[in-house]
Amino acid sequence: QKEVEQNSGPLSVPEGAIASLNCTYSDRGSQSFFWYRQYSGKSPELIMSIYSNGDKEDGRFTAQLNKASQYVSLLIRDSQPSDSATYLCAVILYSSASKIIFGSGTRLSIRP
Amino acid sequence: ETGVTQTPRHLVMGMTNKKSLKCEQHLGHNAMYWYKQSAKKPLELMFVYNFKEQTENNSVPSRFSPECPNSSHLFLHLHTLQPEDSALYLCASSQDPGTGELFFGEGSRLTVL
């Protein structure tokens, strides 16, 4: 079982709609979770972090965490063409605080 | 500009060459990382350094040799690489090893012939 799993996509969403990106992780003891965005040809950049069960909102982005289900999601409201990118889920392993493990990413395409 | 600079941006080398990748961070961070990004594969953690000390070696082959002379500089020395080592090598830094909030450089695109 992969440590962090994501659907590779592509996920196509019409402009203005809500994009929903999902991630599951295998290390039940993990406490820290992150979403990075990577534009084509660019390096990843952090957009959200979440540490507690529930929702965390930042502008058009909402991260959701359910530790019991080992599930993290990212919602993007009012999707814009500029949101088209690959979204990477990352988890710090409980077994090693310095090991930040990434999923393979979900490619999101916002169609006008 | 993330405050993390990598050189060279592109590198082509033969299997018998020796080359080095350099990373410098201007953020005052204590932890530095090397990741490998290949097509269709997740970012792979290679090495982690905290205050110049290596804290993680993620089973990386010995043909990759990291060096961290201080908390602002990180090198990846390359020798006798294989074509399958061709990838984008990303350096990142964070305030401390356990924060998870990584700042990435633009990467060094390596091609091994």
Residue B99 confidence (pLDDT):
85
Q: Is B58 on the interface with A (CB under 8 A)?
A: yes
How far apart, in Å, do the first and last CA atoms of chain A sit?
Answer: 37
Q: How far apart are CA A79 and CA B88, in angstroms?
A: 29
Query: Is the CB of residue B97 less than 8 Å away from at least one CB of chain A?
Result: yes
Q: How far apart are CA A91 and CA B96, in angstroms?
A: 15
Within 10 angstroms of residue B82's Cβ, the number of other Cβ atoms is 10
Q: Which residues contact B26 (CB under 8 A, 6 or more apart)?
A: B3, B4, B5, B72
Positions in chain A whose pLDDT score sits under 50: none
Residue B59 to residues B54, B64, B82, Cα–Cα distance (Å)? 13, 11, 16
With an 8 Å Cβ cutoff, are B50 and A98 in contact?
yes
Task: State pLDDT tens for residues A47-79.
Answer: 999 999 999 999 999 999 999 999 999 999 999
